[in-house]
Amino acid sequence: MKLEVDSVNLRFGDHVVLSDVYMGFETGEVGSLLGRNGTGKSCLFNIIIGSLKSQYASVRVDKCYYPSLFKSNLLKYLPQTFLFPSNLRLSNAAEYFELDIENISEKFDKFHIPISSKFYDLSGGQRRMAEILIILNCSCPFVILDEPFTHLSPIQIDALKIEIKEYTSTKGIIISDHQYQHVIDISDKIYLLNAGKTHLLKPENVLEQLQNFMYII
Ligand SMILES: Nc1ncnc2c1ncn2[C@@H]1O[C@H](COP(=O)(O)OP(=O)(O)OP(=O)(O)O)[C@@H](O)[C@H]1O
């Protein structure tokens, strides 16, 4: 399946954030969006899911138009901020997303997170990992993870990178994170957002292109 967003134009008053943006992602791959702070990555994700109205945007899955992809069961989205209320039990959050509790508890065990806990029982990193696992296990063809590596320790990041790659057997996974080296390690395709436009990076010299766009020095 192919998820495409194009002709995205977004401005707040005189501030033009996105100008004629295109991105395309397919199931079976990890696709990424990099860009400096404030370039519009989260806005673009919110436009894709349908929670932010832009002046214009066309969001399609396999050439069908979706004004609100979030309601369609084709995509789940993990925002930068925590997703679930603190006093919710992990198992209840999993049930809310119609997950098989037995299957998901095995995943949680792997990361030493008890599924019977409430979110406030967990550390920041455990909580982030728990939310990521719930979203990754949803039976939808696309998942967006906004800053999945935030709060995670290096060893958890490495485990998550393996996990994300495994889920591409059934999904397209779209990520954005400023820990660009980890993003590069697992991405099949990388877009860089700069001055309101997306640029699809050539796979052979990604670091050099990131330098040219002054995302890194
Ligand atoms: N509701 C809003 N009203 C006005 N400006 C907004 C609004 N939402 C976002 N912006 C502006 O749009 C720009 C893009 O914001 P966005 O959060 O998408 O950036 P980002 O690329 O995700 O940044 P970061 O990497 O820091 O998370 C910023 O300049 C922000 O101030």
ipTM of the complex: 0.98
- The residue whose CA is least distant from atom 4 of ligand 1 is 12
Q: Which two tokens stand for residue 182?
A: 């980890």
Q: What is the 3-state secondary structure (H, E, C) of 34-77?
A: EECCCCCHHHHHHHHHCCCCCCEEEEEECCEECCCHHHHCCEEE
pLDDT computed for residue 68 by the predictor: 83
Ligand 1 centroid to Cα of residue 39, in Å, is: 7
Ligand 1 centroid to Cα of residue 41, in Å, is: 8
Three-state secondary-structure class, residue 79 = coil
pLDDT over threshold 90, residue 180: yes
DSSP-derived secondary structure for 169-210: TT-EEEEE-S-HHHHHHH-SEEEEEETTEEEEPPGGGHHHHH
Q: How far apart are CA 80 and CA 145, in angstroms?
A: 8
Q: According to the CATH classification, is domain 2-84+141-212 in 3.40.309.10?
A: no
12 within ligand 1 shell (Cβ under 6 A) = yes
- State pTM to two decimals: 0.95
| Per-residue pLDDT reduced to its tens digit, 61-73 | 999 999 888 888 8
